Amino acid sequence: MTALDNRFVKRRPDAPPGFFEVEAAGLRWLAVPGGVPVAEPVDVSPSHLSTVKLDLVPPTGGAADEFGRRLACTHEAGARYFGVPPDGWEDDGYIGTIGLPHALEPIKSWGEFYANLRLRPYLRAAYNQGTIDGHQLHVFEQVCARLEAGTYDDPSEPPCRIHGDLWSGNVVWAADGVHLIDPAAHGGHRETDLAMLGLFGLPQLERVLRAYDEVHPLADGWRDRVGLHRLHPLLTHVVLFGGSYVPQAIAMARKYV
């Protein structure tokens, strides 16, 4: 990413099809009234994306509170079903530099969606790479089976409009408040975004969570499910960066067997 006048520009001449277009669609979809502001797309092509330049500032408690409240509003904007791509996009997307499957028709439950579109594609890739072995794959498959059986479904939690890759590096503390960048936006479970926030550490995280909970109270036991929601990003790291992430991912998976 480079800064040009009042824009940030990301370029990738060899970008796979739709790489920047789906990111721009995700940013526009997340830009809901009262929600967290996004880095507004200015121009997009198959090889680049330019967004409005943000003036960076240190994190503050007040900004964290506002971020939490606004993130609840973003999630409450909702999605038509779990796994749905952002409006204006009807294909798969990307998380980081690898593919992210979308559901092009409704899926009956979050557990089915999470098992089949967020865990199994990356488990297959990691197994085919030789990064995980058959015994480790079996542990993850046990988790998938419980997900498909509805063990972790909550009918009171409708599909939410989530960022999908909300680690701290995609949270920009700007002069006019937190903005979101680099989404893997889709219809998902709001606990997924919240779990991602803490995966690699976020300044003022507890203030963000407390403010969020005041606007949209979290379901009982949500902290016990944080690791479940982190399995997807950990598996993407296994695929991208290799075996160093396997011990953390397998230890987390065993908690949900």
With bands split at pLDDT 50, 70 and 90, how would you rate the model's confidence at 148?
very high
Dmax (CA) of the chain? 53
With bands split at pLDDT 50, 70 and 90, how would you rate the model's confidence at 233?
very high
Task: Give the whole-angstrom CA distance, residue 172 versus residue 182.
Answer: 10
3 has a pLDDT exceeding 60: no
Task: Please give the pLDDT value at position 19.
Answer: 98
Which of 5-9, 82-86, 241-245 shows the lowest per-residue confidence on average (mean pLDDT)?
Answer: 5-9
189-to-17, 57, 117, 137, 184 alpha-carbon distances in Å: 27, 30, 13, 24, 13
Question: Residue 45's domain spans which residues?
Answer: 2-254
- pLDDT, mean of residues 220-246: 97
**What's the CATH number where 11 sits?**
3.90.1200.10
Task: Give the whole-angstrom CA distance, residue 97 versus residue 23.
Answer: 12
5 has a pLDDT exceeding 90: no
8 Å CB contact between 219 and 154: yes
- pLDDT, mean of residues 138-163: 97
Average pLDDT, the chain: 96
Residue 3 or 89, more confident: 89
At 68, the amino acid letter reads G
What count of other Cβ atoms lies within 10 Å of the Cβ of residue 139?
Answer: 16
84 has a pLDDT exceeding 60: yes
8 Å CB contact between 161 and 132: no
pLDDT per residue as tens digits for the range 169-217: 999 999 999 999 999 999 999 999 999 999 999 999 999 999 999 999 9
Tell me the three-class secondary structure of 170-205, residue by residue.
Answer: HEEEECCEEEECCCCCEEECHHHHHHHHCCCCCCCH
8 has a pLDDT exceeding 80: yes
Helix axes 205-215, 61-76, angle to 10 degrees: 40
8 Å CB contact between 156 and 219: yes
- Total domains present in the chain: 1
Task: Please give the pLDDT value at position 2.
Answer: 56
pLDDT per residue as tens digits for the range 239-252: 999 999 999 999 99
8 Å CB contact between 20 and 44: yes
Chain CA centroid to CA 183, Å: 7
Task: Please give the pLDDT value at position 6.
Answer: 83
Task: Please give the pLDDT value at position 209.
Answer: 98
134 has a pLDDT exceeding 60: yes
